[in-house]
């Protein structure tokens, strides 16, 4: 064998697998088709602004992610963000602050009288639902339809890019659905854990000095893998004791034999590599839908914006009928993303709600963002900096019975020893989820090597 493990794809998933494996002494080569690793995660700097191409921060409650960051030398570069920073949603064309403290959640003017009563009645609602239940049905059944329309729908539309009417509740709201299954109620579950001193792990929210690019750079530099950029896998073939992979590089064709192969690429690329080996598995993966996503970064003089910009930003419910999903601003918690006296607005457009954004050019995206932001934030002047990031396949959609599809994919993978998938379409789109998934794939590989008597 040329190498123990070949990882195809150098996004955060592939880099995470490489890092976990290197810590166990496994030899790894990583192929990335682009000129640099990172996938959709990266930070572009211009005019003193730091503009993220993908994820802009991390929300973490997993101890393995904490250990991963510390072992990668990134703990000192973390920028902690206030978890209690105000958040807003658009209501009838204006920004309204969302109540976030559990004790006062139902006692604010944010809710209508009926909506408030429905929230308070949540513990009385009987346990229900099944695996195929949609996110909309779950939320409407438990905290109520007003909570769905004002909070959960815009949150899911921005975080997952999905349509809650089609997304599987247990796939996109796993912690809340688990509380209902265990305790019969979300509120009862939260209070039961507190009484038993089993509160959920504290949620830590942070970015890094230098932006999310710092995470990519640290992993690429210390991944422990032989990293080859501008190298795209073209053919994957099974051999008696492993896999043979042929790839294309700037210098010509490259062939490599590996005991294990990890596919850490978008679903359509994985399906293309798998089709000759297992058409049914390729069809399962290739049938996944994606939603387009665009980010318009707009830099302003602070005086050009009337809103106080206190907090994180805002989300937009679908009832507002906008292509804008939400906006994050650099005031306060993300101040380092803009020079002194200036503000960076990062507007997110698209998702399943506005798939037509995929057909827009950058100028149209920027114009749409400005047109929708102006009345909400009181923009008094044009931006001094504009940068648009487009992702044609921005987010995989967990529509239909997504968990059943994932089980089918994993069942078929068992027929192909040494073949693994580490990507955002099976089990989570967040950076936290990708690191956790990388840890799981690395453990699986090490377990299989130990079973074969390999030295770890």
In this prediction, residue 115 has a pLDDT band, given cuts at 50, 70 and 90, of: very high
What is the architecture, at CATH level 2, of domain 3-76+210-288+399-451?
3-Layer(bba) Sandwich (3.50)
Alpha carbon 355 to chain centroid distance?
A: 18
CA atoms within 13 A on the CB side of 244: 5
Give the mean model confidence (pLDDT) for residues 337-353. Answer: 96
pLDDT at 198: 56
pTM (2 d.p.): 0.93
Mean pLDDT taken over the chain: 93
pLDDT at 104: 64
pLDDT at 103: 60
CATH of 101-198, one of 3.90.1640.10, 1.10.3110.10, 3.30.499.10, 1.10.3210.10: 1.10.3110.10
Determine the CATH number of domain 290-396. Answer: 3.90.660.20
Give the mean model confidence (pLDDT) for residues 288-308. Answer: 96
Per residue in 82-107, pLDDT tens?
777 889 999 999 999 998 765 666 67
pLDDT at 102: 58
| Fold match, 3-76+210-288+399-451 / 101-198 | no
Per residue in 377-417, pLDDT tens?
999 999 999 999 999 999 999 999 999 999 999 999 999 99
Per residue in 56-81, pLDDT tens?
999 999 999 999 999 889 999 999 88
- pLDDT: is 330 or 285 the higher one? 285
**Residue 201 confidence (pLDDT) above 70:** no
What share of the chain has pLDDT > 90, as a percent? 84
**Residue 199 confidence (pLDDT) above 60:** no
Domain extents for the chain? 3-76+210-288+399-451, 101-198, 290-396
**Residue 291 confidence (pLDDT) above 60:** yes
d(CA 272, CA 115): 48
From the list 70, 79, 40, 9, the residue with the least C-alpha distance to 222 is 70
pLDDT at 455: 42
């Amino acid at each position: 064998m040329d190498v123990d493990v070949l990882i195809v794809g150098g996004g955060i998933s592939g880099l995470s697998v490489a890092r976990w494996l290197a810590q166990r002494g496994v030899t790894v080569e990583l192929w990335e088709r682009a000129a640099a690793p990172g996938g959709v995660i990266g930070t572009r700097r211009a005019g003193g602004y730091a503009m993220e191409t993908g994820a802009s921060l991390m929300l973490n409650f997993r101890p393995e992610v904490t250990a991963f960051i510390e072992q990668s030398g990134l703990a000192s570069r973390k920028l902690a963000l206030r978890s209690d920073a105000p958040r807003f949603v658009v209501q009838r064309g204006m920004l309204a602050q969302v109540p976030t403290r559990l004790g006062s959640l139902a006692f604010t003017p944010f809710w209508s009288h009926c909506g408030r009563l429905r929230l308070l009645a949540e513990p009385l609602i009987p346990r229900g639902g099944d695996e195929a239940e949609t996110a909309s049905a779950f939320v409407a059944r438990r905290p109520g339809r007003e909570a769905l329309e004002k909070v959960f729908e815009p949150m899911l539309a921005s975080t997952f890019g999905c349509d809650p009417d089609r997304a599987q509740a247990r796939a996109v709201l796993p912690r809340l659905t688990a509380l209902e299954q265990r305790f019969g109620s979300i509120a009862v579950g939260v209070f039961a854990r507190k009484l038993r001193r089993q509160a959920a792990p504290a949620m830590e929210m942070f970015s890094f000095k230098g932006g999310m690019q710092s995470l990519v750079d640290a992993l690429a530099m210390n991944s422990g893998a032989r990293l080859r950029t501008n190298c795209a896998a073209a053919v994957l073939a099974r051999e008696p004791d492993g896999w043979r992979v042929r790839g294309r590089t700037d210098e010509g064709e490259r062939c490599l034999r590996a005991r294990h192969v990890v596919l850490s690429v978008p679903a359509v690329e994985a399906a293309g590599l798998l089709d000759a080996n297992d058409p049914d598995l390729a069809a399962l993966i290739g049938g996944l839908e994606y939603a387009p996503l665009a980010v318009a970064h707009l830099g302003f003089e602070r005086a050009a914006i009337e809103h106080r910009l206190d907090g994180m930003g805002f989300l937009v419910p679908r009832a507002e009928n906008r292509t804008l999903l939400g906006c994050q601003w650099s005031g306060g918690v993300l101040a380092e993303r803009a020079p002194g006296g200036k503000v960076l607005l990062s507007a997110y457009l698209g998702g399943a709600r506005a798939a037509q954004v995929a057909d827009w050019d950058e100028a149209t995206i920027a114009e749409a963002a400005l047109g929708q932001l102006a009345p909400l934030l009181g923009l008094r002047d044009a931006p001094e900096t504009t940068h648009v990031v487009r992702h044609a396949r921005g987010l995989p959609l967990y529509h239909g019975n997504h968990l059943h599809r994932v089980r089918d994919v994993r069942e078929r993978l068992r027929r192909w020893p040494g073949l693994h998938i580490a990507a955002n379409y099976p089990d989570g789109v967040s950076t936290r989820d990708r690191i956790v998934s990388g840890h799981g794939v690395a453990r699986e590989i090490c377990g299989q090597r130990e079973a074969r008597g390999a030295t770890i």
